[in-house]
Structures are given as C-alpha cells and as structure tokens.
C-alpha cells in the first residue's frame, strides 16, 4: 500500500494523479487516495498566504515551463490556467466523501483535468457537480454531504495527519514504514520502496 | 554542451557533481562547470539569509532523510555535516581559478566530499589548500589568485549570469537552447535534452 497525498491546486500533482494508478498496479501496490489542503501547512511552515510559485516569481516561471516539459513527456495535455491557484476547499471535501463510495480516484483525475486542461473553475459547485456526474456520483447528494460536518471533519483530519507526518508539499507519497517522498518525480522511487516493504512483510 | 551550475553548500549538488561526468560522457555531451553563489539569489528572490532547509525545518528534516536515500541509491557515502551551510566563498573563488587550468571538476568533487563525507570545514584555507594539492594544483598560487580581483570578478559574473538566466537553486543545468533544469533528479532529463539539441544542430 502507498498513500498518495494531494492538493487540487498543485500543478505537479496533476501528472502524479494521472500516472499513479497504472504504475501502482504494475508494482502490485494498492493506492490510498488522501486529498488534503496544502494552504494551511504552507502558512504554518513558511508564512505563505499564496502559492510559493506566486510568492517567488522566478520559481513560478521555471515551474510553468517545467510543467509543459513534464506533461509533454507523459503525453498529457496541459493548459496554463487563467487563475492560479484556484479555491480547492469544496473539491477536496467532495473527494473525501467519495473515498468510501469508490469514485475518488476518477473524480480526482476529473478535477485535475478541469483545472489544468479545461481551465475550468474547480471552486464552483456547478463545475464540480458536472464532474461528479461524469464519475457516476450524485451531484446533489455529494455536494450536500461535502458541506456537512462529517466531510469537513474528515478533511480537517487529513490536514492534521499530513502535518503530523511531516508533509509540506504536494504530491507526497507515504509508505507503511513511514518513508515520505515528495514530488511527482519521486513516484517511481516511492512505489519501489512500498513494493520492497510489502515483500519483506510477506516473506 | 551542458552548463552545470552549482553552489558548494548545496546538498543535492553533491550527488550531481559526482554523477555528471560519466553520464555526460555516455550522452556525448561536454560539461561546462559553473560554480556560483546561491546565497545572494536566495536573498534577492526569497528574502532568505540562511539555507531554506534551516529556514523551513520541516523541509530540512525531509531533505536530510532524502539525501541518505539518494546517496544510498547512487552508492555514494554521505555524512550529515556538523555545520550547515558552510561558508563557500573561498571555495567558489578557487573553483573559478581552476576552469582555465582544467582541475575544476576534480576540485569540485573533492570539495563536496570534504563537506558531505569528511565533514571538514570547506571555508578554511588550510582545508582547501589540501584539496588543491590533491588535484594537482598549487595551494599557494591558487589561494592567492582566488583572493585577487580577476577571480572575485569572475565569480560575481557567474552570479550575475545565474540571476539573468532564471537560476534560483542548485544544482541547475542549462542547455545551449536556454532550457533550465533544476535538481539532481533532473540531470538525466537535462542531458537527454542537450544531446537532442546537439543532434539537431549537427544534422
């Protein structure tokens, strides 16, 4: 098993979300999808109230060009969104609702594609409703559940877990033996680690 | 050709410095060694007066563990240095002196090994003198040249070039067509890019 921790506003989490399922299956590792909010941690750790890529423009300039290269290499479409970062609170609350029902992986991919390919406002309930419908979930029921206490609490708990486990960026990958890997470009290494851990446990 | 931009205090630049020559030879790409100082850029871009890994402890904690994994994977020894970051001004000035004389690659590797394996103070003229001797350079002559105007100016020019070309971290790799790659984990991609560029130019 590997935990995949992601924030919907994170650019590099988009290719990770698109790649992880096939790669994990190949490695024989199950994926636990862990949507969380990075904003509170960036604020606590680094005093930031905006994306680091906006706070430090020279890093942002690099990141947008790098994203073009990374997506081209993975044959993934990519559009520089007209708004960055977008509000991801409602999307993340919807994503935690789907964990029990099984549609979180497909919904996650749909939200990233909306944000970074279709350039749609993933903060809008209308946009999210259409994506929920796409993945076979009930827009009305899920949007209502997303705004009720259990979903809010579960997302808060994800943020608390991320904080407690030393996560400071997205995407992050956590193995059962507590190894943390940060960044889309560490997905291969994280899966190798998780797979070796499994082999040791079952040997 | 590929330009390898590095700061001696940078942890991830150590494995990059150890790996680049053999990998570049394999790719048929020449390496231009470009020592620079990251401190002035971190200050200008991010207002930092210390390593980001000290300023943001949760990132530092991750980095030290990650360095252990990265070095283990590359079969490189690694010691968490007792002082971090160390003063790298004199080492960088020596390194620019060696570019014409040809010993900069060997000296660079020796400095990184002193900092991150032997845990030696690479800010000390005595330590640097011993490393210079190791790589066949004259300690007295080089240490004198390193503290004279031409070497100081050349290092300043490296920092100015780095700033002008959007470099904000170390290691960075720059290809002749202006593509910037940041991070030890991008060395493979940077060399592939440089090699394809060469093929197009000579086709």
Contact between A58 and B45 using a beta-carbon 8 Å cutoff: yes
**CB-CB neighbors (< 8 A) of B56 in chain A:** 45-46, 168
Strands (DSSP E) found in chain A: 2-6, 31-35, 172-174, 180-182
Interface test with B, best of A15, A59, A163, A197 (most B CBs within 10 A): A59
Answer yes or no: is pLDDT of A202 > 90.
Answer: no
Q: Quote the tokens at residue B127.
A: 């330590």
> What are B's interface residues with A at a Cβ cutoff of 8 A?
45-46, 56, 58-59, 61-62, 65-66, 69, 73, 166, 168, 179-183, 185-186, 189
Mean pLDDT of B22-35: 98
Cβ neighbors of A24 (< 8 A, separation 6 or more) are A2, A30, A31, A191
Rounded to whole angstroms, the Cα distance separating B31 from B167 reads 17
Strands B31-35, B172-174: pairing is: unpaired
pTM comes to: 0.95
Contact A69 B186 (CB under 8 A): no
Q: Which residue in the block uniquely carries the two structure tokens 């020559």?
A: B21
Mean of the per-residue pLDDT values for chain B?
A: 97
Numbered residues of chain A with Cβ closer than 8 Å to any chain B Cβ: 45-46, 56, 58-59, 61-62, 65-66, 69, 73, 166, 168, 179-183, 185-186, 189
Tens digits of per-residue pLDDT, A40-67?
999 999 999 999 999 999 999 999 999 9
Calculate the CA B104 to chain-centre distance.
11
pLDDT, one tens digit per residue, over A79-101 is: 999 999 999 999 999 999 999 99
CB-neighbour burial class of residue A38 (10 A; exposed 0-12, middle 13-18, buried 19+): buried
Whether ipTM exceeds 0.85: yes
Residue whose tokens read 């030393």: A166
Contacts of A189 in chain B (CB under 8 A): 69, 73
Q: Do B62 and A189 touch (CB under 8 A)?
A: no
CB within 8 Å: B45 and A59: yes
Mean pLDDT in residue range B52-76: 97
The answer on pLDDT for B179 being more than 90 is yes
Give the C-alpha separation, A59 to A81, whole Å: 17
Mean pLDDT within B132-144: 98
């Amino acid at each position: 098993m590997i935990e995949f921790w992601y924030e919907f506003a994170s650019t590099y989490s988009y290719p990770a979300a698109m790649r992880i399922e096939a790669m994990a299956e190949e490695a024989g590792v199950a994926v636990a999808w862990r949507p969380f909010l990075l904003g509170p941690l960036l604020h606590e750790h680094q005093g930031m109230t905006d994306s680091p890529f906006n706070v430090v423009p020279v890093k942002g300039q690099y990141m947008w060009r790098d994203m073009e290269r990374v997506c081209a290499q993975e044959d993934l479409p990519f559009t520089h969104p007209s708004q960055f970062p977008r509000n991801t609170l409602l999307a993340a609350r919807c994503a935690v609702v789907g964990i029990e029902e099984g549609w979180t992986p497909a919904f996650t991919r749909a939200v990233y594609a909306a944000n970074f390919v279709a350039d749609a406002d993933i903060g809008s309930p209308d946009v999210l409703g259409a994506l929920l419908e796409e993945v076979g979930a009930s827009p009305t029921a899920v949007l209502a559940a997303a705004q009720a206490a259990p979903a809010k609490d579960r997302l808060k708990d994800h943020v608390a877990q991320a904080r407690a486990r030393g996560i400071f960026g997205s995407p992050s990958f956590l193995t059962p033996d507590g190894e943390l890997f940060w960044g889309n470009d560490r997905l291969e290494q994280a899966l190798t680690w998780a797979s070796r851990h499994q082999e040791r446990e079952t040997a």
